A and B are shown apart, each in its own frame.
Chain A
Amino acid sequence: MKKVFFFLSGLLLVIVALWQCKTKGVASASADDAAQKTYVAPGKYDEFYNFVSGGFNGQVSVYGLPSGRLLKIIPVFSVFPENGYGYSEETKPMLMTSHGFVPWDDQHHISLSLTDGVQDGRWMFANANNTPRVARVDLKNFRTMEILEIPNSGGNHSSPFITENSEYIVAGTRFSIPMDDQPDVAIETYKQNFRGTASFISIDPQNGGLKLGFQVLLPGVNLDLSRSGKGPSHDWFFFSCYNSERANTLLEVNASQNDKDFIVAVNWKKAEEYAKSGKGVTKSVRYAHNTYDETTHSATTKWETEAIMLDPKVLKDFVYLIPCPKSPHGCDVNPTGEYIVGSGKLAAIIPVFSFDKMQKAIAAQNYEGEYDGIPVLKYDAVLHGEVQKPGLGPLHTEFDDNGNAYTSFFVSSEIVKWNVQSLQVLDRVPTYYSIGHLCVPGGDTKKPWGKYVVAYNKITKDRYLPTGPELAQSAQLYDISGDKMKLLLDFPTVGEPHYANAIPADLIRKNSVKFYKLEENNHPYVAKGEGQAKVTRDGNKVHVNMTAIRSHLTPDNIEGVRVGDEVYFHITNLEQDWDVPHGFAVKGATTAEILIMPGETQTLVWKPLKPGVVPFYCTDFCSALHQEMQGYMRVSPAGSNLPLKFSTGAEPAVQ
């Protein structure tokens, strides 16, 4: 009875609180209305798409906000047996690199395409940290359409941050290395021979196509994170770096010696002019450029052989260094483009630099010296101010639309809200536990949408039911619409999220592709209708042009295949409606299944190793008779002269 009483009084409180909210128009959240603020009723949609990097799973996952529901995992840099990405013949070239086929990577950051500094919902870009690459995902189909390898690079961490009109994304080296044309040097010659590079990759405004524009040759520091300027600072890009000591061993100690490292300010407009007027040095390199074509439903690899290198020691006046305390990590530019926030991982303050002051210091040559031939600006001359006692271990900063900044603190495990102009701390909330990145919808752009901040935590511990030694990663959603931040929701995430972006759902959902038109399918092995289904032999290669439609595969009886053959199952899904993929798997395949979207053709290669009859079937429940969607392939011993034979239903067709 007591319980009922408490429940009812609680309910009453909620109602009163809500009523007050409504009457006063106050948008402040409380623990009481957290459930309502994150509840998305059955059949209703979330307000934002949240694109979240997958870290060590190499993929990007998509969540809905405010519900925290997982909507999709987009395979980008790692194979994905769930849909055949990296296993099907069509998608294998996407993971080709100068090191050969690379099935995994470490995916850290994403950025969304911008028009005039505002999210436009066209593309998402992602970086691969381990084998340096950048990728473009089309937000019409949520598919990886392009992957570009980066030459002269190690540890592509400072990537793929974007300029405000999607002119370029960048790729900055966390691990300096000897350049590709002088690869074999002693590690102890680090200071002489190891260099960092900041690559600028141009984006075709029409089709999103990527191209390595130019690379800026930098001292052997570790570039960490970066952001482009905005508005007045449009022409500039800012990269944080650590290890200005240029240590090549025990960096934990040796790269933490200097009181200050740097924020590297690059005038990319000027660099672009240098590159276009032939002032750079063209380096001979080799790197993969992989693109996916939606009409042939196939990826191809093109080998690129040149990179334009710009050396700021030779070409003056486009790179400057801003001293920044204690191994800066985050390097974030506020929505007006005037302030650059550096976050020293080991610092007790947050320095905020002024772009206007930086311009004046450059004009007055107000330098404190040079570092490896690059001018170092005077700290005090470019400093807007320092946020005092903000917390311990600042990492990243996002912004709202009211002039406030939200900085994550790993060591003190909290988000701190402060005013960019006044540098006053306004509020702080704990995170559970040890937050890394954080994300305000549009919080890295000229036009933040505000409303929420999401914490992507590095430590999970006791937040969810235990699942053995390895736990889900913990994300947390906070309401930032009022003066005080309010925790609304915990939600588990996959992989290890680093950075994320959130974008209003309306900018994307209306463009979503529902199926591919069969008429436009130009795959070389398409079967546009069952009449075109066939089995042909080309030496030891057997090509099966197969169709799938609810609820049968054509052909579904195949004989004449021999041990030693390579069988190519080219499956065309004849459906022309939304959400009717078919799957395909064959017994003993050492690859994966493939999922074939309506109107698409995908190919699974299978090598029979012993005689027998193997079943194959549809793996994606498609209809009431899905269980019947199956077939058989007979494999005869090597050297058998049984002719190819294939059929479906009552009328066998013999070739």
Chain B
Amino acid sequence: MKIWYGVLLLLFFTLAACGGGDATDNSATAAPAAQTPEEKMLAEGKGIGEVKFVELKTPLEAERVSRGKAIYDMKCAACHKLDDKRVVGPGWKGVTKTRKPEWVMNMVTNVEIMLEKDEEAQKLLQLCLTRMPNQNVSLGDARDVLEFMRSNDGEK
């Protein structure tokens, strides 16, 4: 049963991401069924988006860390520092301790919807006053960035 919710939710987001008129009809039918898991995700602090569950491994996956660092340097470093100082966006120090990994990846890959629906994301916008841009980071790249964040937070 849960799988079906997942599929419907995924369908909803895929269509919603497409934009345009067609999406409304489909989401109208999918929404009542999809709402419960969406609310559940938000309530659990996982945010909202395609990422429902992230499996973290210990020790850290070294390849992911170095790939994540490269993506950070190119697409994130202009606004996020690695200490706890806020520049344009919040510093990353401690982010993996205060946020669930699903929340982090959804924020990176689904920022428009997160800013619309997730309370924690909205609080950050009120603080920083600059909407976090969609940097078109893929799910795989977002997972690598997450691993780099864990490393930045001192995990081994």
Tell whether A550 is near chain B: CB-to-CB under 8 Å.
Answer: yes
Quote the shortest CB–CB distance from B24 to chain A (angstroms).
13
Closest to B79 in A: A549
Give chain B residues whose Cβ lies under 8 Å from the Cβ of A558: none
Q: Is the CB of A550 within 8 A of B75?
A: no
Q: Is the CB of A624 within 8 A of B77?
A: no
Closest to A527 in B: B74
Q: Is the CB of B74 within 8 A of A528?
A: yes
Sample (28) of A-B pairs whose CB atoms are under 8 Å apart: A518-B74, A528-B74, A529-B74, A529-B75, A529-B77, A530-B73, A530-B77, A530-B78, A531-B73, A549-B78, A549-B133, A551-B88, A552-B78, A554-B78, A575-B133, A576-B75, A576-B134, A576-B135, A576-B136, A576-B137, A577-B134, A577-B135, A577-B136, A580-B133, A623-B130, A624-B129, A624-B130, A625-B129
Q: How far is the CA of A28 from the CA of B111 in the complex (A)?
A: 48
Give chain B residues whose Cβ lies under 8 Å from the Cβ of A624: 129-130
- Interface size, A (range): 20 to 34
Quote the shortest CB–CB distance from A35 to chain B (angstroms).
23
Tell whether B87 is near chain A: CB-to-CB under 8 Å.
Answer: yes
**Could you tell me which residues of chain B, from 74 to 98, have a CB within 8 Å of some CB in chain A?**
74-75, 77-79, 87-88
Q: How far is the CA of A225 from the CA of B130 in the complex (A)?
A: 54
Q: Is the CB of A529 within 8 A of B73?
A: yes
**Residue positions of B touching A, CB distance < 8 A:** 73-75, 77-79, 87-88, 129-131, 133-137
Tell whether A515 is near chain B: CB-to-CB under 8 Å.
Answer: yes
Closest to A519 in B: B74
14 more A-B residue pairs beyond the given contacts A517-B136, A549-B133, A551-B88, with a C-beta to C-beta distance below 8 A: A515-B136, A518-B75, A528-B73, A528-B74, A531-B73, A532-B73, A547-B78, A550-B130, A574-B74, A575-B135, A576-B136, A623-B131, A624-B129, A649-B87
Give chain B residues whose Cβ lies under 8 Å from the Cβ of A531: 73, 77
Closest to B21 in A: A44
Give chain A residues whose Cβ lies under 8 Å from the Cβ of B130: 550-551, 623-625
Q: How far is the CA of A573 from the CA of B87 in the complex (A)?
A: 18
Q: Is the CB of A577 within 8 A of B133?
A: yes
Closest to B135 in A: A576
Give chain A residues whose Cβ lies under 8 Å from the Cβ of B88: 549-552
Q: Is the CB of B73 within 8 A of A550?
A: no
Q: How far is the CA of A580 from the CA of B137 in the complex (A)?
A: 16
The 6 closest A-B pairs by CB, nearest first: A529-B74, A529-B73, A576-B136, A549-B78, A576-B135, A577-B134
Q: How far is the CA of A547 from the CA of B131 in the complex (A)?
A: 19
**Could you tell me which residues of chain A, from 278 to 323, have a CB within 8 Å of some CB in chain B?**
none
Closest to B132 in A: A550
Q: How far is the CA of A377 from the CA of B91 in the complex (A)?
A: 81
Closest to B134 in A: A577
Give chain A residues whose Cβ lies under 8 Å from the Cβ of B79: 549-550
Closest to B137 in A: A576
Give chain A residues whose Cβ lies under 8 Å from the Cβ of B134: 576-577
Q: How far is the CA of A518 from the CA of B75 in the complex (A)?
A: 8
Q: How far is the CA of A531 from the CA of B74 in the complex (A)?
A: 8
Interface centre among B74, B75, B136 (most CB of A within 10 A): B74
Interface centre among A515, A529, A532, A623 (most CB of B within 10 A): A529
Give chain A residues whose Cβ lies under 8 Å from the Cβ of B87: 649
Q: How far is the CA of A577 from the CA of B75 in the complex (A)?
A: 11
Give chain A residues whose Cβ lies under 8 Å from the Cβ of B78: 529-530, 547, 549, 552, 554, 574
A577-609 vs B, Cβ < 8 Å mask (1 yes, 0 no): 100100000000000000000000000000000
Q: Is the CB of B75 within 8 A of A574?
A: yes
Q: How far is the CA of A532 from the CA of B77 in the complex (A)?
A: 11
**Could you tell me which residues of chain A, from 500 to 517, have a CB within 8 Å of some CB in chain B?**
515, 517
Q: How far is the CA of A299 from the CA of B131 in the complex (A)?
A: 34
Q: How far is the CA of A517 from the CA of B79 in the complex (A)?
A: 19
A513-555 vs B, Cβ < 8 Å mask (1 yes, 0 no): 0010111000000001111100000000000000101111010
Quote the shortest CB–CB distance from A307 to chain B (angstroms).
45
Q: How far is the CA of A576 from the CA of B75 in the complex (A)?
A: 8
Q: How far is the CA of A503 from the CA of B21 in the complex (A)?
A: 22
Give chain B residues whose Cβ lies under 8 Å from the Cβ of A623: 130-131
Give chain B residues whose Cβ lies under 8 Å from the Cβ of A551: 88, 130
Q: How far is the CA of A551 from the CA of B89 in the complex (A)?
A: 11
**Could you tell me which residues of chain A, from 602 to 630, have a CB within 8 Å of some CB in chain B?**
623-625
Q: How far is the CA of A649 from the CA of B134 in the complex (A)?
A: 23
Give chain B residues whose Cβ lies under 8 Å from the Cβ of A580: 133
Quote the shortest CB–CB distance from A459 to chain B (angstroms).
41
Give chain A residues whose Cβ lies under 8 Å from the Cβ of B77: 529-531
Interface centre among A518, A532, A549, A649 (most CB of B within 10 A): A549
Q: How far is the CA of A517 from the CA of B129 in the complex (A)?
A: 26
Quote the shortest CB–CB distance from B92 to chain A (angstroms).
14
Give chain A residues whose Cβ lies under 8 Å from the Cβ of B136: 515, 517, 576-577
Q: How far is the CA of A625 from the CA of B88 in the complex (A)?
A: 10
Closest to B133 in A: A577
Q: How far is the CA of A323 from the CA of B34 in the complex (A)?
A: 73
Q: How far is the CA of A552 from the CA of B79 in the complex (A)?
A: 9
Q: How far is the CA of A576 from the CA of B79 in the complex (A)?
A: 14
Quote the shortest CB–CB distance from B110 to chain A (angstroms).
13
Q: How far is the CA of A597 from the CA of B106 in the complex (A)?
A: 26
Give chain A residues whose Cβ lies under 8 Å from the Cβ of B129: 624-625
Give chain A residues whose Cβ lies under 8 Å from the Cβ of B133: 549-550, 575-577, 580
Give chain B residues whose Cβ lies under 8 Å from the Cβ of A519: 74
Q: How far is the CA of A577 from the CA of B73 in the complex (A)?
A: 17
Give chain A residues whose Cβ lies under 8 Å from the Cβ of B74: 518-519, 528-529, 574
Quote the shortest CB–CB distance from A514 to chain B (angstroms).
9
Closest to A599 in B: B136
Q: How far is the CA of A552 from the CA of B88 in the complex (A)?
A: 9
Q: How far is the CA of A507 from the CA of B131 in the complex (A)?
A: 33
Closest to A624 in B: B129
Give chain B residues whose Cβ lies under 8 Å from the Cβ of A550: 79, 88, 130, 133
Closest to A550 in B: B130
Give chain A residues whose Cβ lies under 8 Å from the Cβ of B75: 518, 529, 574, 576
Give chain A residues whose Cβ lies under 8 Å from the Cβ of B137: 576
Give chain A residues whose Cβ lies under 8 Å from the Cβ of B131: 623
Closest to A575 in B: B133
Quote the shortest CB–CB distance from B97 to chain A (angstroms).
25
Q: How far is the CA of A523 from the CA of B16 in the complex (A)?
A: 35
Q: How far is the CA of A334 from the CA of B77 in the complex (A)?
A: 59
Give chain B residues whose Cβ lies under 8 Å from the Cβ of A530: 73, 77-78
Closest to A517 in B: B136
Q: How far is the CA of A649 from the CA of B87 in the complex (A)?
A: 9
